[in-house]
Amino acid sequence: MNLHKNIQRWGTAQKPVGSLSVFKRLKRWLISALCSVSVALTGCSQIEDAYVKLSSAAVQNQAPITLQLWHGFSGREQEAIETLAEEFNASAGVENRIQLILTGYGSLSELADAVFQAAQEENEKTDDLPRLPDLFFSFDDTAYVLDHMGWAVHMEEFLSEEQREMFLDSIQAEACPGENGSMVLFPVGIDTDVLLVNESRWKEFCRGTALDGEPQFTDADLITWEGIGNVAKAYQEWMASGQDTPSPDELENTAGDEDELSEDFPLPGTGSVSFFCTDSWGRLMVAGYESLGKRMFISAPDSIQFSFERSRIRHFWNFWNNGWMDGIFSQESCKDAFSSGEAVACLTSTTQARSISNRVVLKENDSADWVQVSVRPAPVFSGGNPVTLQETLGLVLTKGSKEKQAAAQVFLQWLMDNKSTDLAVASGRLPAQKKYITSKNLQASFQRLGLSDLEQKILNLAKDQLYSHIQLPLAVFDGGSRVIDTMDELLLSGGISVQQEFLDSVQAESGEQVREAMSDDFAYEDWYIAFRDNVVDLVLIGQKAA
């Protein structure tokens, strides 16, 4: 179905290494279509022009040109941006009479609200005082809105095509959400989804369910969502049967892996039969739909196409619906469910995964145990292509005086010289430029920032996943930022309702009869129509509000 939309933009995804000739042709077409340049540029000529303009302005003013940069970071991210600002001010800033001044907000969401408020005030002001920052950190949806308000600078004005090709191919669409496919987001880092597994508990389960010494479940069962569903149900039954406690010898063998974390290596308690949790059911659904061969949201000229085919969606629904009936999904976030030992596996983004450690704090007695945690690729539906969603964080440059524009261009050019790697890594993201996603470069950043072993594994796996999985950016459209959040809420609240309905019904009837009734074609059709219409309404509301 086509829904009205006032933007030209095409979604793109980074494919795994494969057919190189086709891939290169596709890449050239995407770059041309997404970020076409209106003037021919060679090398860094426009950046050099910026230096000339800046030098002239500095001589006239005899004072540094200040650049206001707003961010929404805290903790290690804030330390990284402050270090970066100090380094710039002491080097390129001094040389070119630029002073970078930081203003922090509690989160990127708070920052986006502040930017929109400033843009509105800028449009209504009656004085010459600036309201907007010269630069601010943003996702593509915020950049999209600000561009439609008329305040975002198009990066084609100072970045050559050669420079834009330095960024990952999968982020070209996210970097170009501006009108007519213009580039208004300077990419800094990307996150992606990974699967974390409590290896201590997983190995205990595999040993406990072995028959005659032969394992019934292996790591191969964690590759697909169907496999995870089967494992999770067996895990629930194993827990209900009063699983055997491993012997001291078995415990010692578990602790003997190369990833040994402590001498005692105690296993976590259970407390719950949940096996799986995720921070975003919406992301799982969208990525799963793509893995089965169809894009859910596609931005096209003057419209947003929404695909929701019954047969493809049923793969997701079977996993989701049966899992909630079996009680194998946690209602908690990954940080809460996984870190408390409630869930054995969790699908989460690299930015969220960094808040999870190897220490499990048990709810029942508030004690803490060390466990072994592995990082695995995002699972797929059987027969589908490996897909994971990604999100790009970048900088937006706002319109201002020529001197401010030149100063901002100098700063962004300085960032392109590997200056943003530590900032990306500190936030749980990979650098946005291809040449800096190397093991050597990442390891150096890990050491400078003091990342834990688990954090390093998460980003190393994310790096490998760039080539094993299709990297899917979400399409940007009016109100699009609210769609995934609302899908999350619908799927979580709906799942909890399914679980409660199943538990209430089995008290009066046979469990199998209830399951059949809640899993038949009629039940699916009712859910399918209601969910589809909810998403369509969300998109239409966004269109009307834009």
Q: Where are the domains of the chain?
A: 41-191+391-470, 194-387+479-545
**Residue (of 180, 138, 187, 146) closest to 164 by Cα position:** 187
What pLDDT digit, counting tens, does each position of 164-214 carry? 889 998 887 778 877 777 889 999 999 999 999 999 899 999 999 999 889
Q: How far apart are CA 535 and CA 494, in angstroms?
A: 14
pLDDT band for position 301 (cuts 50, 70, 90)? low
Residue scoring higher pLDDT (199 or 259): 199
Give me the pLDDT at residue 544, please.
Answer: 47
Lowest mean pLDDT among 32-36, 330-334, 354-358: 32-36
Question: What does each C-alpha distance from 291 to 15, 43, 196, 311, 380 come to in angstroms?
Answer: 12, 38, 20, 13, 7
Give me the pLDDT at residue 58, please.
Answer: 54
Give me the pLDDT at residue 545, please.
Answer: 44
- CATH entry 3.40.190.10 includes domain 41-191+391-470: yes
Give the mean model confidence (pLDDT) for residues 311-332: 93
Lowest mean pLDDT among 460-464, 471-475, 489-493: 471-475
Q: Which residue's entry shows tokens 């578990």?
A: 254
Compute the mean pLDDT over every residue in the chain, rounded to the nearest whole number.
81
Evaluate if residue 382 carries a pLDDT over 50: yes
pLDDT band for position 313 (cuts 50, 70, 90)? very high
Q: How far apart are CA 421 and CA 431, in angstroms?
A: 5
Give me the pLDDT at residue 489, please.
Answer: 92
Q: Kindly state the helix (H) or strand (E) to which residue 406 belongs, with its residue range.
A: helix 402-415
Give me the pLDDT at residue 187, please.
Answer: 94
Lowest mean pLDDT among 107-121, 260-274, 477-491: 260-274
First to last CA, the chain: 20
Say whether 194-387+479-545 and 41-191+391-470 share the same fold. Answer: yes
Evaluate if residue 370 carries a pLDDT over 50: yes
Contacts (Cβ under 8 Å, ≥6 apart) of 518: 321, 325, 498, 501, 502, 505
**Residue (of 531, 533, 394) closest to 476 by Cα position:** 394
CATH architecture of the region 194-387+479-545 = 3-Layer(aba) Sandwich (3.40)
Count the Cβ atoms, other than its own, within 10 Å of residue 197: 20
Evaluate if residue 111 carries a pLDDT over 60: yes
Give the mean model confidence (pLDDT) for residues 440-463: 95
Lowest mean pLDDT among 297-301, 305-309, 362-366: 362-366
Amino acid letter, residue 293:
G
User: 3-state SS string over 284-311?
Assistant: HHHHHHHHCCCCCEEEECCEEEECCCHH
What pLDDT digit, counting tens, does each position of 15-66 carry? 343 333 433 333 333 333 333 333 333 334 454 565 555 555 555 556 789 9
Give the mean model confidence (pLDDT) for residues 225-240: 92
DSSP state of 220: G
